[in-house]
């Protein structure tokens, strides 16, 4: 059991590192959005949308948002995988304890 715990902790550490890496990338993309908005005065907020006067600014903004969405999906997949592994390990442990 202890050996399994040690293996699990080693693997969990790698997954946590990957989560933080993805989180840092998300923060960088949000920073890019803020820098874009700060550098250009060629945009307005109408309702709940940001409207850009130039296609270039719109493309850059959409690129940043798309990257954020992709990174968020990667984070969700990693979390689902981690939860599934924890559940499987728990079931394995229950089975081993029952023997």
| Per-residue pLDDT reduced to its tens digit, 69-92 | 999 999 999 999 888 887 887 787
What domain count does the chain have?
A: 1
Residue 4 lies in a domain: no
In a domain, 3, yes or no: no
Predicted pLDDT of residue 2: 60
Measured distance CA(18)–CA(50) in Å, rounded = 32
What is the reported pLDDT for 89?
75
Q: Which tokens in the block code for residue 49?
A: 């949308």
Residue 96 lies in a domain: no
In a domain, 1, yes or no: no
- Residue 29 included in any domain: yes
Q: For residue 66, with 0-12 CB atoms within 10 Å meaning exposed, 13-18 middle and 19 or more buried, which class applies?
A: exposed
Q: Please report whether residue 79 resides in a domain.
A: yes
Question: What pTM does this model have?
Answer: 0.77
By the 8 A CB rule, do 72 and 30 touch? Answer: no
Give the C-alpha separation, 37 to 88, whole Å.
46
pLDDT of residue 13: 82
- Quote the domain boundaries for residue 27: 16-91
- Answer whether residue 83 is part of any domain: yes
Report how far residue 4's alpha carbon sits from residue 46's, in angstroms, rounded to the nearest whole number. Answer: 55
The parts of the chain modelled with pLDDT lower than 50 are: none
């Amino acid at each position: 059991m202890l050996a399994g715990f040690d293996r699990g902790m080693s693997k969990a550490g790698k997954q946590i590192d990957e989560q933080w890496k993805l989180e840092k990338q998300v923060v960088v993309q949000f920073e890019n959005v803020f820098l874009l908005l700060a550098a250009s005065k060629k945009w307005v907020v109408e309702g709940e949308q940001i409207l850009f006067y130039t296609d270039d600014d719109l493309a850059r903004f959409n690129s940043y948002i798309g990257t954020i969405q992709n990174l968020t999906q990667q984070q969700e997949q990693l979390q689902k995988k981690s939860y599934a592994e924890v559940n499987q390990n728990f079931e394995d442990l229950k089975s081993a304890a029952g023997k």
